[in-house]
């Protein structure tokens, strides 16, 4: 697979070059700001000598230095609340919302899951009523480009030269032996063969071609309005921020689970096990889960999370069974998921019970 990894790495050269230029420009702007701040400080000092004793007193206490244009401390990128400390009374419960996005949850969405709009409304109502009990919120976002291994643009039929229709299943045999399906770009052939084999070896799903969905920058990628309002109210109430977790933004692998990609890409850490997310979730006494779809992303996120938890703590995971729905045709997978997770101690409850 070294050849494949080399190819994938080469495709990142352009992105790296752009990032380098942006960092260089940012450096120049920083230097300019520093020079401007120094000049301002010098001017201020020459005009404020009479108040120097007062300013020095403030400086000794760690207050903001007059005229410096800089604060002597840096805010954390994210504060749990206004004081920067977790409230012990609320530390016990977090919410994990999985892919509550318009393309899944709006009837006009490209991959609408029947019932998902009602799931959002039901969960939002319960969440608003009980938000004071919620210490932290994690929202995963399926995040794709149009050119993705699970989208039609990536593949072409070897005989008809047509892209596959939505919901086409592509087997490893059709890629590695009969060559019915092949990547449009020949240099992706080796990876494509490896990928479909690994998918089937992992025992989850064969490759399914989905309608283009959750494309970056589109309305379909955004969180459903019923939930954005509820999340915004929670942020205001707690003076905190929602944790958004992006997944699926590597075009060479599916990422049903928020914990790890279905097939990990060697040179992309974003596809590896998200240990930080796992550890943060494990720190709570209860993890309330809802979202879409029960048959896919809820299914494998919970499976991968539970796999990282000691047996005796798996009962901390509470799935809102009336706030997640399965993709049509995959209802059996949703039912299988619920049955198997119950055996491991995961609780499936009504949304009205999840926060009690």
**Overall size of the chain counted in residues:** 356
Residue 314 phi, psi (nearest 5):
-70, -20
Which parts of the chain register pLDDT below 70? 1-91
Tokens 């039609």 label which residue? 152
The pTM is what? 0.76
Looking at residue 124, what is its pLDDT?
97
- Under 8 Å between Cβ of 171 and 145: no
Tell me the β-bridge partners of 101: 223
Distance of CA 171 to the CA centre of its chain: 28
- Under 8 Å between Cβ of 242 and 140: no
The distance in angstroms from the start CA to the end CA of the chain is 50
How many C-beta atoms lie closer than 10 Å to residue 13's C-beta? 9
Radius of gyration of the chain (CA): 25
Q: Quick one: which of 257, 192, 160 has its CA closest to 4?
A: 192
Give per-residue pLDDT as tens, 91-102: 589 999 999 999
Tell me the β-bridge partners of 318: 288, 347
In the numeric block, which tokens belong to residue 314?
Answer: 């798996």
Q: Secondary structure of the chain in the HEC alphabet?
A: CHHHHHHHHHCCHHHHHHHHHHHHHHHHHHHHHHHHHHHHHHHHHHHCHHHHHHHHHHHHCCCCCCCCCCCCCCCCCCCCCCCCCCCHHHCCEEEEEECCEHHHHCCCCCCCCCCHHHHHHHHHHHHHHHHHHCCEEEEEEECECCCCCCCHHHEEECCCCCCCCCCCEECHHHHHCCCCEEECCHHHHHHHHHHHHHHHHCCCCCEECCCCCCECCCHHHCECHHHHHHHHHHHHHHCCCCEEEEECCCCCCCCCCCCCCCCCCCCCHHHCCCHHHHHHHHCCCEEEEEECCCCCHHHHHHHHHHHCCCHHHHHHEEEECCCCCCCCCCHHHHHHHHHHHHHCCCEEECHHHHCC
Distance of CA 263 to the CA centre of its chain: 17
The domains of the chain are located at 2-43, 91-147+213-354, 152-208
Q: For strand 169-170 and strand 207-208, is the pairing parallel, antiparallel, or unpaired?
A: antiparallel
How many C-beta atoms lie closer than 10 Å to residue 205's C-beta? 18
Could you please state the CATH topology (level 3) that the domain comprising 91-147+213-354 is classified under. Rossmann fold (3.40.50)
Is the C-alpha dihedral spanning 234, 316, 323, 208 positive or negative? Answer: positive
How many C-beta atoms lie closer than 10 Å to residue 356's C-beta? 7
Q: Quick one: which of 229, 269, 245 has its CA closest to 94?
A: 245
In the numeric block, which tokens belong to residue 233?
Answer: 């109210």
């Amino acid at each position: 697979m070294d050849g494949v990894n080399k190819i994938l790495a080469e495709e990142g050269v352009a992105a790296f070059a752009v990032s380098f230029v942006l960092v260089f420009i940012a450096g120049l702007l920083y230097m300019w700001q520093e020079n401007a701040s120094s000049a301002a400080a010098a001017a201020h000092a020459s005009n404020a000598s009479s108040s120097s004793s007062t300013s020095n007193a403030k400086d000794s206490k760690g207050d903001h230095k007059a005229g410096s244009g800089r604060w002597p401390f840096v805010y954390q990128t994210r504060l749990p609340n206004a004081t920067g400390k977790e409230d012990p009374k609320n530390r016990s419960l977090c919410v994990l919302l999985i892919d509550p996005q318009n393309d899944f949850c709006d009837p006009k969405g490209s991959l609408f899951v029947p019932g998902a709009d009602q799931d959002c409304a039901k969960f939002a109502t319960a969440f608003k009523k009980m938000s004071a009990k919620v210490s932290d919120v994690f929202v995963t976002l399926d995040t794709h480009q149009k050119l993705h291994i699970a989208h039609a643009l990536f593949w072409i039929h070897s005989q008809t030269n047509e892209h596959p229709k939505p919901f086409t299943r592509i087997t490893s045999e059709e890629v590695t032996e009969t060559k019915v399906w092949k990547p449009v770009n020949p240099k992706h052939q080796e990876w494509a063969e490896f990928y479909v084999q690994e998918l089937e070896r992992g025992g989850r799903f064969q490759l399914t071609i989905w309608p283009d969905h959750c494309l970056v920058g589109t309305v379909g990628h955004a969180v459903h309005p019923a939930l954005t309002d509820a999340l915004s109210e929670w942020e205001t109430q707690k003076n905190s921020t929602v944790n958004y977790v992006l997944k699926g933004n590597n075009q060479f692998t599916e990422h049903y689970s928020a914990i790890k990609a279905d097939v990990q890409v060697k040179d992309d850490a974003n596809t590896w096990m998200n240990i930080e997310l796992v550890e943060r979730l494990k720190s709570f006494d209860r993890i309330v889960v809802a979202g879409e779809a029960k048959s896919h992303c809820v299914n494998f996120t919970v499976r991968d999370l539970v796999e990282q938890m000691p047996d005796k703590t798996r009962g901390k995971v509470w799935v809102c069974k009336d706030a997640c729905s399965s993709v049509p045709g995959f209802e059996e997978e949703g039912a299988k998921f619920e049955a198997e997770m119950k055996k491991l101690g995961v609780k499936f409850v009504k949304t009205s019970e999840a926060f009690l």
